[in-house]
Amino acid sequence: MNKKLDVVTFGEPMAMFYANDPGELHKALSFSKGMAGAECNVSVGLSRLGHSVGLVTKLGEDNFGRFITDTLNKENIDTSNVKFTNEYRTGMLVKSKVLTGDPVVEYFRKNSAASTISLSDFDGDYFASAKHMHVTGIFPAVSKTCHEFALHAVDFMRSQGKTVSFDPNLRPSLWPDTDTMVKAINDLAARSNWVFPGISEGKLLTGHDKPEDIADFYLARGVSLVVIKLGPDGAYFKSSDGEGYVPGFKVDEVVDTVGAGDGFAVGVISGLLEQLPLQEAVRRGNAIGAINVMSPGDMDGLPDRVKLQKFMEQ
C-alpha cells in the first residue's frame, strides 16, 4: 500500500432495501437496492468531490458483500483494507418511504461480519497513509471489539499528527443504556479535533440547550472545532478562531432525511482539507446536506463538483 489517502474511515457498510412507495414498511411490496452506512456515505461524498478515500471494514463472503465492494469500487473508494470472512454474514437493512418526517429503518446486523472487527485487524501503515480520519458514533456501538478498534484508531491518528473528525450519529438501540452511550460518545469526541453533533444530539450529550454552550462543552475538553447542525436553520460553529451561524439552503422537497448529516460532514471536511475559510466550509456542509435530502437512498444525492457549484450559486 503505497497510495496516499486524503481521508480514511472505518465502519459497517450494509446492503439496503428502501421502499419505492410511501406507507407502512410491512405493506411495501417493491424495493430498490442500495448501500447504507454513515461512513460509506461520507466516503462516497468525499470521493465524488475528488478526494482520495479509503474505507476499512469486514464483509461476509456473500452476495451482499460483493455488492458493497462493487459499489465502493465504482465510487473510486480504496478497498484494499476491506477483509472478508465466510464465518459471518454482511449486515442489511430495510427502510420505509415517507412524505414527511424520518423513515422507519429496521436493521439486520447482529453478529455481522463487521461486528467482529478487532484490534488484530488494525493496519497502522494503512491508517498512517491518510491525512485525515472520519469517525462516527455508530461503529463503536456495534460491539465491544469495534469500540476498542475505534478508540485505538483515534488515538493512533492523533499520535501521528493527523486530524480526526467525529460525528456522534447516535443510535440508542445499539447501546446498553443512555448513560453508557453518552459517556462513550463524549469520550470519543474529546479525543477528536472536529466534532459535528446535531442540536438534539448535543442537548442529550451535554445537558445544554444553546449551541454556544454545547460547543463550549467540547472545546473545554480539548476539541479544536465544534460545528452544530441546526436542520433547516443551517449550522453554528465555534473554534478558538471565532464563531458564527451559517444559514441553511432552501429545499424544494424533502424526499429522504437519512444521510443529511453525512452530507454535511462531507462538506465541512472537504472544505477544511481544501483550506477554505471555516464559514465557507460550513456553508458547503449546509449545501450538501440540503442536496442529499432531496434524493432517495442514503447517498444518491451526494454531488460532484459541478452539481455542488451549480446548487450553491443558485
What is this structure's pTM?
0.94
Q: Are 138 and 38 in contact (CB under 8 A)?
A: yes
pLDDT at 257: 66
Q: Which of 231, 172, 163, 171 is nearest to 195 (CA)?
A: 163
Q: Which residues are catalytic?
A: 262
For domain 1-161, give the CATH number.
3.40.1190.20
In order along its 314 residues, the chain shows pLDDT tens digits of 457 999 999 999 999 999 999 999 999 999 999 999 999 999 999 999 999 999 999 999 999 999 999 999 999 999 999 999 999 999 999 999 988 888 899 999 999 999 999 999 999 999 999 999 999 999 999 999 999 999 999 999 999 999 999 999 999 999 999 999 999 999 999 999 999 999 999 999 999 999 999 999 999 999 999 999 999 899 999 999 899 999 999 887 777 666 789 999 999 999 999 999 999 999 999 999 999 888 766 677 899 999 999 999 98
d(CA 283, CA 241) in angstroms, rounded, equals: 17
pLDDT score at 298: 67
Q: Could you tell me the end-to-end alpha-carbon distance of the chain, in angstroms, rounded to an integer?
A: 41
Q: What are phi and psi of 131, to 5 degrees?
A: -75, -35
pLDDT score at 256: 64
Residue 253 pLDDT: 77
Which helix or strand (DSSP H or E) is residue 148 part of?
A: helix 144-159
Kind of pairing between the strands at 163-167 and 194-195: parallel
- Helix/strand/coil for 34: strand
User: What is the pLDDT, as a whole number, of residue 2?
Assistant: 52
What are the domain boundaries of the chain? 1-161
Place of cell 450553491: 312
Closest CA to 7 of 43, 59, 45, 50: 43
